[in-house]
Every structure is written in structure tokens, then in C-alpha cells.
Amino acid sequence: MKKIEAIIKPFKVDDIKEALNEIGIKGMTLTEVKGYGRQKGHKEIYRGAEYVVDFIPKVRIEVVVEDEQAEQVVGTIREAANTGKIGDGKIFVIPVEDVVRVRTGERGPEAV
């Protein structure tokens, strides 16, 4: 199994959710995060003084899928999150050892 962790622009959340739904991904975890990459942050101006704000709001989406589906999910997220502008985000693919469903105790892919 793989965990797909995508750091994306917050306004892209709905597009990604819909795109993932279409390929059969029904669940995901969302976290509001802050960070910056190559685009850096933004500039604020107060009474002539400039402040550079490094950490800008992003959303982290986490989805766990079976190995063979991972590539499709990555592609779907990439497509839906892409605006072509700097700061669109990153997608990480992380191996997952096991999954446990809390309610039933099911393990592995059944539990996803």
C-alpha cells in the first residue's frame, strides 16, 4: 500500500476531491498547513514598512491506496491541482506497512 500525501493550494481542494471521487477514491484526510517552497511567501505593507510572510497557507491531502492504484491517484491529483503557476505544491508517495480499521479490526487493504 502507498500513502499519497499532497501539499496543494487550498482553493484546489474541491477539484481534487471530485477528481479522486471519479476514479473511485472515497476517503481522504485533510489538514490545513503552512509552508513555502521555491515561490517563497508574500509581501505585506503597513505604513511604508514591508513585511515578508514566509509561511503561506496550504492544504495537505492524505490518501492511502493499493500499490497498483498509486500512480493513477498521483496523476489525478497532479492534474487537478495544476494551475501552471508557481506554488502549486508537491506530491509525496510513501510506503505503508499496514492499516487497521478501528471499528472492525480488519487489516491491510481491506481496512482502507
Q: Which residues bind another protein (CB under 8 A)?
A: 44-51, 53
d(CA 78, CA 9): 12
Q: In angstroms, what is the minimal distance from the CB of 41 to another protein?
A: 11
Query: Between residues 30 and 53, which has the closer beta carbon with respect to another protein?
Result: 53
What is the helix (H) or strand (E) element at residue 19, kind and residue range?
helix 13-22
Query: Between residues 49 and 86, which has the closer beta carbon with respect to another protein?
Result: 49
Q: In angstroms, what is the minimal distance from the CB of 40 to another protein?
A: 15
Query: Between residues 55 and 92, which has the closer beta carbon with respect to another protein?
Result: 55
Query: Between residues 32 and 44, which has the closer beta carbon with respect to another protein?
Result: 44
One-letter amino acid of 58: K
Q: In angstroms, what is the minimal distance from the CB of 29 to another protein?
A: 24
d(CA 63, CA 87): 21
Does residue 105 contact residue 32 with C-beta atoms inside 8 Å? Answer: no
Q: In angstroms, what is the minimal distance from the CB of 79 to another protein?
A: 33
CA distance from start to end of the chain = 9
